[in-house]
Amino acid sequence: MIKCFEIFVPLVQGNIELIEQLSYNFVKRQAEQNIIYTEVRYSPHLLANGGSFNDNDGNDKSVLVNADPIIDAVTRGLRLGEEEYGVKVNQILCCLSFRPDWSDDVVRIAHERRDDTPCAVVGIDIAAGEDHFDKNAFPDNHNSHYQAFQKAKKLNLNVTMHAGEVGSISNILHAVEHYNASRIGHGYRVIEDKAIMDRMKELNIHFEVCPTSSVETGAWMYKQCKAGKTVWTDHPTIYMLDHGMNVGLNSDDPAVFDTSLTWQFRIAVLKMGLKNEQLIHMTKNCLEAAFLCNEEKIVHRKAIEKFEISV
């Protein structure tokens, strides 16, 4: 997946005008899918001048990466789109597993911009791999990320974290117990241990599942029947739902995976066999797990309830 980003990121890196336009276009695409609230996540440092996929080269580490102009551009684009299309948008800033040298700055920016509304920074994440959980094999990565997220905890920042996607199920526990995550990105490995599923249910941890990317990243592989059709009825999402866990549908990166949230709902209905009431329940889960104040959630709850009555 990193190879995909290595192709297109250099095309936009440091291009403030283009990044602002892409941010505006993002809101437009959300509106076209009837999305009323969205949280967009990205790595501002990777999009900035000097951003790099490689932290092993001393030359890369010596480059000072100023992410603030990128966030300014993204925020301008999102605000313009929000005003024009009526979609409520907030931002989540990503730390990257392989760039621990940026994590402390991500925490700083998130803290400084948490009240910069509209389109505020409402949370942080660690994406692009799970090596940072392994303090024995990757001590530098682990220590830098861990220390940054201890600061985030003291600052009471919202945390969602990629864990248990292609990495160990233990990463899910680490994300919740040591990094203060209230949401888990993907987390498909959780179905390997009922006791951990029970623990996540007890803590009401929200799992952000993304059907298309679960296949594309190798996190899960569907079966094929003799007719050549794909079989999705044993997807981890179904086991999580059957276990009463807090689960919601997400698109992951629509451009990279050539998909949309609408398409994820299509897979859920036509491939997984989920019913309308399950999809509405998952949508409610997403709202309750969103990094929004309760006053804003009340508004969106009413919109969901209005839709529920109509179906």
Q: Which of 20, 165, 216, 288 is catalytic?
A: 165
**Alpha-carbon distance 191 to 161, whole Å?**
17
CA dihedral 272, 192, 188, 97 (to 10 degrees): -170
> Across 72-138, where does the E strand assignment appear?
88-96, 121-127
Helix (H) or strand (E) holding 207, with range, is: strand 206-209
Helix (H) or strand (E) holding 247, with range, is: strand 246-249
What is the token pair recorded at 7? 């192709």
- 165 is an active site residue: yes
**Alpha-carbon distance 294 to 36, whole Å?**
16
Select from 55, 75, 58 the least CA-distant residue to 67.
Answer: 75
Residue type, 193: D
**Alpha-carbon distance 137 to 75, whole Å?**
37
Could you tell me which residues come within 8 angstroms of residue 212 by beta carbon, excluding any fewer than 6 positions away? 251, 252, 257, 259, 263, 264, 267
Contact 261, 250 (CB under 8 A): yes
Provide the annotated active-site residues. 165
